[in-house]
Structure 1
Amino acid sequence: MNRGQSFLLLLIGSVAILTIFVILPFVEYVIASAILAYILFPFHVRLSRWLRSLLSRRIRASLARRLGNMLSALGLILTAIVSVILPVAYISWVFARDLADIARGNSDIDVVAIEAEIETLTGQEIDVGELLTMGGQLLIDSLFGGVSGIVTTGLRASVGLSLALFLVYYTLIDGPMFVRWLRSTSPLPQHVTSDLVDRVDSMTRGVVIGHIVVALLQAVVAGIGLWAAGIPDVVFWTFVMAVLALVPLVGAFFVWGPAAAYLVAIDQVTAGVFLAVYGVLVIAMVDNYARPLVIDQQAHLNPAVILLGVFGGIYSIGFTGLFVGPIVIGVLAATLETFREDYDAI
């Protein structure tokens, strides 16, 4: 390696470190925008092609191509705002509010009835209210840095979401060009680069659709059951189930099972039995049937690895870590698999 190459590599490394330092405050939103653009891109391809064919009848083909891409990207972003971002923002706000109430000891849960039932069954006096308060405070400290940090996190999220929407737009427009640039710039042999890109694509699709989407679907279905049974703080518990549902078979049960027992303990036996039956016949079936249907077996990750990515991601970068953590681990798995097969080093 000559002096010029050494200097250029040093310059690239220095600028890369500075770039990471610049985007670090909003790195979760950058990654979230990439994930959202990845999900929207197949729709963008179809919609932009339809718009181009429609516009090409009235204007030049080159202009129709550019205008079709722009209108498709803007339309999909508006759709994502209405169908994804606004609901997620509302759920996040309610989750933070309910979590703050639990940390202050203001939960609507009938703590006295639970304590009395526990004492009847075990003969032990347990301060359930104090346990809930401690758990709520621990979560607030981990996710937001304390109650006062909720407002700061909300303001920062507003700026981050605005940035993410701009990034989604330009990723949809220029994404294919960026992928081609990566392929041409990669120092790996062309067949290894293609194999790596295909594996990362397959792994990301499997994690996003096969695990996260199914978990969110199961949490929504379970949340409807909690709401129908009259469980308080439904949005909060739905959010908790969205995380726990990433563990197949038993994940969401850790919420709706105790919830059914809680209803029986406070003498709402009918509601408790309804929730238990609904959980077995409906909630559990979503996991048993939906996950095998949509998951890409080639991109399958062990559920324990997915759960590790979820909790690690949430702890490291906040709410978006729910999606980012498993994907990062999935990309690592795809890279290791490519290395093993193409270089036979493992």
Structure 2
Amino acid sequence: MNRGQSFLLLLIGSVALLTLFVISPFIEYVIASAILAYVLYPFHVRLSRRLRRALADRLRESLSRRLGNMLSALLLIFSSIVAVILPLAYISWVFVRDLTEIARGNTGIDVAAIEAEITALTGEQVEVGDVLATIGQLLANTLFGGVGGIVTTAIRASVGLSLALFLVYYTLLDGPAFVRWLRLTSPLPSNVTADLVDRVDAMTRGVVIGHIVVALLQALVAGIGLWAAGIPNVVFWTFVMAVLALVPLVGAFFVWGPAVVYLVAIDQVTAGVFLAVYGVLVIAMVDNYARPIVIDQQAHLNPAVILLGVFGGIYSVGFTGLFVGPIVIGVLAATLETFREDYDVI
């Protein structure tokens, strides 16, 4: 390596570190925009093709292609705002409200009845309200840096979300060109680069669809059951189940199972029996049937690894870490697998 190449590599490394420093306050939104664009891209291809055909009779081919791509990206972003972002913003607001109340000790749960049952069974006095308040404070500190940091987090999230939408738009338009540029720029042999790209694609699809989407679906179904049974702070507990549901079979049970016991303890036996039956016949079936259908077995990761990515992502970057953490670990796994197979490493 001559002096010119050494200087160029040093310059590239320095500028890369500086770029990472500049975008680090919004790195989670950058990654989240890439994930959203990845999910929307197959729809973008189909929609832009239809729009180009519709515009082909009136405009030149190059103009109809460009306009079709732009309109498709804008329509998909608008659809995402209506179908995903606005409902998610409302759910986030309700979750923050419930979390704040729990952190202040206002759980909405009949704490006295639970404490009386525990005392009757064990003979020990347990301050359940204090335990729940501590859990609420711990979650608030982890997600927002404390209750006082919620407003700051909301402002930062608004700016980050606006940035993410712009990034999604341009990623949908220029994403394929960027992937081609990566393939050409990669110092790896073309066959290794192609293998790595395919593995990352399969791993990302498996993590996003096979694990996260199923967990969110199971949490939503379980949340409906908690709401029907009359459990307070449903949105808060649904969020907890969304994280725990990443562990197959038993994840969401750690919430709806104790909820059944709670309902029986406060003499709401009918609601408790309903929730138990609903949990076994509906909530558990979502995990048993939906997960094997949508998971790409070639991109399967151990649930413990996924859960580690979720908790690590939430702790590192906040709420969006729920999605970012597993993706990062999935890409690492794909890279290691490519290295092992293409370079015959045992």
Q: Following TM superposition, by how much is the alpha carbon of 1:27 offset from its aligned partner in structure 2, in angstroms? A: 0.1
**Structural RMSD (CA):** 0.6
Q: Which residue of 2 aligns with 1:116?
A: 116
Q: Distance in 1 between matches of 2:177 and 2:226?
A: 46
Consecutive aligned runs of 4 or more in structure 1 exceeding 2 Å deviation: none
Q: Which residue of 1 aligns with 2:274?
A: 274
Q: Distance in 2 between matches of 1:127 and 1:21?
A: 45
SS in 1 for 2:290: helix
Q: Which residue of 2 aligns with 1:10?
A: 10
Q: Following TM superposition, by how much is the alpha carbon of 1:164 offset from its aligned partner in structure 2, in angstroms? A: 0.1
Q: Distance in 2 between matches of 1:205 and 1:142?
A: 28
Quick one: which amino acid aligns to residue 216 of structure 1? L
Q: Which residue of 1 aligns with 2:197?
A: 197
Q: Which residue of 2 aligns with 1:244?
A: 244
Q: Distance in 1 between matches of 2:242 and 2:176?
A: 32
Residue segments in structure 1 that go unaligned for 5+ positions in a row: none
Q: Following TM superposition, by how much is the alpha carbon of 1:88 offset from its aligned partner in structure 2, in angstroms? A: 1.4
- The reply on whether 1:233 has 2:245 as its aligned counterpart is no
SS in 2 for 1:262: helix
SS in 2 for 1:148: helix
Q: Distance in 2 between matches of 1:245 and 1:138?
A: 20
Q: Following TM superposition, by how much is the alpha carbon of 1:19 offset from its aligned partner in structure 2, in angstroms? A: 0.2
Q: Distance in 1 between matches of 2:57 and 2:223?
A: 48
SS in 1 for 2:147: coil
Q: Following TM superposition, by how much is the alpha carbon of 1:96 offset from its aligned partner in structure 2, in angstroms? A: 1.4
- Normalising by structure 2, we get a TM-score of 0.99
The percent of aligned pairs where both chains have the same amino acid is 84
- Within 5 A, what are the aligned runs for 1:49-88? 49-88=49-88
Q: Which residue of 1 aligns with 2:322?
A: 322
Q: Following TM superposition, by how much is the alpha carbon of 1:86 offset from its aligned partner in structure 2, in angstroms? A: 1.1
Q: Following TM superposition, by how much is the alpha carbon of 1:117 offset from its aligned partner in structure 2, in angstroms? A: 0.9
Alignment deviations for residues 17-72 of structure 1 (CA, whole Å, 9 cap, x no partner): 11000000000000000000000000000000000001101111111000000000
Quick one: which amino acid aligns to residue 53 of structure 2? S
Q: Distance in 1 between matches of 2:330 and 2:103?
A: 34
Q: Following TM superposition, by how much is the alpha carbon of 1:235 offset from its aligned partner in structure 2, in angstroms? A: 0.6
- The reply on whether 1:214 has 2:214 as its aligned counterpart is yes
- Within 5 A, what are the aligned runs for 1:164-179? 164-179=164-179
Q: Distance in 2 between matches of 1:103 and 1:255?
A: 18
Alignment deviations for residues 222-273 of structure 1 (CA, whole Å, 9 cap, x no partner): 0000010010001111111000000000000000010111111111100000
Q: Following TM superposition, by how much is the alpha carbon of 1:124 offset from its aligned partner in structure 2, in angstroms? A: 1.1
- The reply on whether 1:256 has 2:256 as its aligned counterpart is yes
Q: Distance in 1 between matches of 2:139 and 2:323?
A: 18
Q: Distance in 1 between matches of 2:309 and 2:83?
A: 25
Q: Distance in 1 between matches of 2:27 and 2:228?
A: 39
SS in 1 for 2:248: coil
Q: Which residue of 1 aligns with 2:153?
A: 153
Q: Which residue of 2 aligns with 1:288?
A: 288
Q: Distance in 1 between matches of 2:180 and 2:297?
A: 27
Q: Distance in 2 between matches of 1:142 and 1:324?
A: 16
Q: Distance in 1 between matches of 2:15 and 2:93?
A: 37
SS in 2 for 1:107: coil
Q: Distance in 2 between matches of 1:83 and 1:243?
A: 22
Q: Following TM superposition, by how much is the alpha carbon of 1:321 offset from its aligned partner in structure 2, in angstroms? A: 0.4
Q: Distance in 1 between matches of 2:183 and 2:333?
A: 20
Alignment deviations for residues 70-95 of structure 1 (CA, whole Å, 9 cap, x no partner): 00000000010111111111111211
Residue segments in structure 2 that go unaligned for 5+ positions in a row: none
Q: Distance in 2 between matches of 1:240 and 1:135?
A: 11
